[in-house]
Amino acid sequence: MARADMFDPTTAAAGPATMSDSGAQLFDLGYRSYDGERHRPARAIATLATFTARRVLGMGRGARHKVLPSLALVIAFLPALLSVAFAVLTDDLLEEDLISYGEYTFFIGAALALFAALVAPEALCPDRRSGLLGLYLAGPLDRTRYVAGKAAAVYGVMLLIAVGPLLFMLLAFVLSGYGPATSEIPELLLRILASGGSTALLYASLSLAVSSFTTRRAAAAVATILLLYVPMAIARSAIESADAPTELDLVSFPFVASELSVRIFGETSEDSGPISELATAAIAGGLLTASAAALLLCWLRYRRIEAFR
Amino acid sequence: MSAQPTVVAEGVSKWFGQLVAVSDVSFDVGPGVTALLGPNGAGKSTMFRMLCGLAQPSKGTVRVLGRDPRLDVGVTRAIGLVPQQETVFERLTGREFVALAARLHGLGEPEREAERALETVGLDPADPRPLPAYSKGMRQRAKVAQAIVHDPQVLVLDEPLTGLDPRQRVDLVALFRRLGEEGRCVIVSSHVLAEVERLGSRVLVMSQGRLAAAGDFHDLRALMDDRPLRVRVRTDRPRELAGALLERGAVLGLRLDGDDSLELDTADARALARALAPVARDRGARLLEVRQLDADLEGVFRYVVEQ
């Protein structure tokens, strides 16, 4: 079946051969069964997650696909870079002049929102729009595994932006002699992972939920931004002008993430609004509940979706 | 259709609101090639999607290798699907597209297997162009490559011959035949009935969402006893032969076609065959050709969907 001029003996093993007495052989270049190693189905989740993460970050794609991820990364890493640069280059800089680890999530709110609006729509929408979802689901991925793979990719990429700058800052400060004592590094590392992990979880799950409702990336991106900021505006307005309970501020998602980060690092926020009056457990519970509800919604959407394109 | 069915549909219906796409369809399919035929809108693609677990039957059950393809990922790993739509491609090269499928299926050497699959369908693995830049036939073959890369036990091919040139069709038909002969269950739909006929003789015919016929199409033709068989006879004495056959009552009707040809309608092909030679001998007519006209798949298909 394969054309003779395409056949490469170094890459394609010959099939069963017909041999004459003189030793001449005709090789069967047609379809050959696969009897090699087959990995477990769980491996497909990792494959999908890796493939999706690469696509979202524009890896292996044209330059225009790299612009927005690069922009978001620059916005996210810039405060850390400047902070380290000032610390290293300026002799009389006070510690309070630098961005603290706890404040960082607040400072990169725009980058987090941009990334959330970019990543999950790019991860989910094209598959349904193009019909690739059908090929995934007709293959080794069921709906749950598909959502797991996509969620892992989105969460991983969000971690890059939520944890990456803090790790960079820690590393740079330690190497330049401004960092914490060696004995404090493990604890600080855990705080960074907890802070970045919870922030990434909230942003990733919310954008996944939004993206599961549309096949259009732009619509999902806009809806994600609206979900991050509109409930916040409404809740804060209701709390301030209508004496609504302070707990309503748990829908101010960007502030939930930044306030929890501040608390994880044992710092106090200067002006986070009503949410700063809530207990840490309530904020953590709010973040986890919102994340779980969003992931559940996304999963339920995919349970019901019939791949008909 | 087979002692050990690989795919079983039992009382399957699928509706979308008020629209009934598939209505109470039951069949079983074993190893080998089976063609699922039907006019546009007959419910073939919906049936295919249910076979692959992409859609849930509104009623009834679908089993592939004894298991539910909607719930059991072990089954869907054994399925290779060539979807009808062309828009399944992102801007991947053919090799990336097929290697991704190989990775998802957990193959040990995905790049190598992707190369093999692409070569099998006559595509160059080193082609650097993204799939949207391929011709329609090349994209079609890339879809086939991703469907066969993991050596599936069940192949579901929705219009796999669309857009291919004649040579490519011949190649892919041979590939599908071979996959069927090796014991895989190959279910294929196509509008190119002549090519389907070359794939094999087992057919499922759907019409208006219902299963209109199932089985070997030669046997189906034999069952169509309310429709006369049409036989073309070429002879040097068509008028004499026509008169004699009518005299004997061996034909239901006939039509002279040119100077050397007769088209005969008969309810009993064997009786006609028995009568034809003696009548020709008695009238001194030479029989140049005797050919049944509507016993091909197209004839059966037209009859089944129009009845």
The domains of chain B, with CATH numbers, are: 7-222 (3.40.50.300), 224-306 (3.30.70.270)
Nearest to A2 among B113, B120, B179 (CB): B120
Question: A209: closest CA among A143, A123, A301?
Answer: A301
Please give the Cα distance from A248 to A187 (Å, whole number): 32
* A32 touches A15 (CB < 8 A): yes
Judge whether A283 lies within some domain: yes
Same domain, A194 and A77: yes
Judge whether A292 lies within some domain: yes
Same domain, A94 and A31: no
Same domain, A144 and A49: yes
Please give, rounded to a whole number of angstroms, the shortest distance from the CA of B121 to a CA of chain A: 6
Please give the Cα distance from A220 to A269 (Å, whole number): 31
Same domain, A269 and A139: yes
Judge whether A180 lies within some domain: yes
Question: A118: closest CA among A107, A126, A106, A129?
Answer: A126
Q: How many distinct structural domains can be found in chain A?
A: 2
Domain that holds residue A25: 1-36
Are A30 and B120 a contacting pair at CB < 8 A? yes
Question: pLDDT tens digits, chain A, 309 residues: what are they?
Answer: 334 344 343 344 445 555 666 666 665 556 677 777 788 878 889 999 999 999 899 887 788 888 888 888 888 898 888 888 888 777 666 666 678 888 888 888 888 898 899 999 999 999 988 888 888 888 888 899 999 999 999 999 999 999 999 999 899 888 888 778 888 899 999 999 999 999 999 999 999 999 999 999 999 999 999 999 999 999 999 998 988 899 999 999 999 999 999 999 988 877 778 898 999 999 999 999 999 999 999 999 998 887 654
Judge whether A197 lies within some domain: yes
Same domain, A54 and A19: no
A240-264 burial code (b ≥16 CB/10 A, e <16): eeeebebebbbbbbbbbbbbbbbbb
Q: What residues contact A229, with CB distance under 8 A and at least 6 apart?
A: A113, A254
Judge whether A173 lies within some domain: yes
* B234 touches B260 (CB < 8 A): yes
Same domain, A180 and A64: yes
A56-65 burial code (b ≥16 CB/10 A, e <16): bbbeebeeeb
**What are the C-alpha distances in Å from A71 to residues A57, A68, A79, A106, A264?**
11, 5, 13, 18, 28
ipTM (interface predicted TM): 0.73
Judge whether A309 lies within some domain: no
Element (H, E) at B136: helix B136-148
Structure tokens given for B279: 């009548």
Judge whether A160 lies within some domain: yes
Determine phi and psi for B183, rounding to 5 degrees. Answer: 105, 0
Structure tokens given for B32: 């080998």
Are A135 and B146 a contacting pair at CB < 8 A? yes
Same domain, A24 and A55: no
Same domain, A9 and A150: no
Same domain, A83 and A185: yes
Are A140 and B73 a contacting pair at CB < 8 A? yes
Contacts of A126 in chain B (CB under 8 A): 90
Determine phi and psi for A22, rounding to 5 degrees. Answer: -80, -5
For an interface test with B, the pick among A55, A137, A144, A304 (most B C-beta atoms closer than 10 Å) comes out as: A137
Please give the Cα distance from A148 to A129 (Å, whole number): 19
Same domain, A115 and A55: yes
Torsion (CA) A89, A94, A100, A106 in degrees, nearest 10: -90
Structure tokens given for B60: 């009834």
Same domain, A29 and A173: no
Burial-class residue A35 by CB neighbours within 10 Å (0-12, 13-18, 19+): exposed
Same domain, A10 and A140: no
